[in-house]
Chains A and B, each alone.
Chain A
Amino acid sequence: KNEVEQSPQNLTAQEGEFITINCSYSVGISALHWLQQHPGGGIVSLFMLSSGKKKHGRLIATINIQEKHSSLHITASHPRDSAVYICAVGGSQGNLIFGKGTKLSVKP
């Protein structure tokens, strides 16, 4: 069993829809990250959180430490949101353990 599990693996949505990507982890963490990766591009950090909820524009990330679960929400989705979204958990040494990613495609 992977230490970081994401669902769904692939997601297709219509522009304007509300999107949720889930992440479950099985290890102790110091922080959880949500990252975005565009095709052919590098990785950009969206959120780093260790409790509660964070919001940036149309993106919202939540984490439940007791349940070892986090969600990434995108409100009013847009085609430019199409990318791979990766959940990663941070260990005590600063290393990251990554999920396999969720490929999101938003159709106009």
Chain B
Amino acid sequence: EAGVAQSPRYKIIEKRQSVAFWCNPISGHATLYWYQQILGQGPKLLIQFQNNGVVDDSQLPKDRFSAERLKGVDSTLKIQPAKLEDSAVYLCASSLNRGSGYYEQYFGPGTRLTVT
């Protein structure tokens, strides 16, 4: 079974530029998560999708961050314009979550973003 795929693995941009990250979850996983992990801290949830609908985006800085999951499969996360404090690893994860109960999350390798 293929794991969660993310691209690019690394990205360096200047502040005020735009950047986009892509995630392909495990086939059949209904729920997709985007996390931001700043160096030395645990991951923080940015947005959670159930199929192509948003479940939780309360911690997403909506003035500069946007995310979509068209057709309920792949997802993209965009930052426009980037700030220095956006430098972090952006992790995508997916899980089954098809109903009640709790399902394990599977993580992608992450995209390391450096904003200069």
Contacts and interface: CB of A to CB of B under 8 A. Distances in A.
Contacts of A94: 31, 48, 55, 95, 97, 102-103, 105
Give the size category of B's interface with A: 20 to 34
Contacts of A4: 42
B43 interface: yes
Interface in B31-65: 31, 33, 40-45, 48, 55-56
Contact of B102 (A45, A90, A99, A101): A90
Nearest to A88: B42
Interface string B72-88: 00000000000000000
SS of A interface (majority): strand
B41 A100 contact: yes
Given A94-B95, A98-B42, A43 B56 contact: no
A95 B45 contact: yes
A31 interface: yes
Contacts of B31: 94
| A30, A41, A94, A98: residue with the most chain B Cβ atoms closer than 10 Å | A94
Interface of B: 4, 31, 33, 40-45, 48, 55-56, 91, 93, 95, 97, 102-110, 112
Interface of A: 4, 30-31, 33, 40-45, 48, 50, 86, 88, 90, 93-101
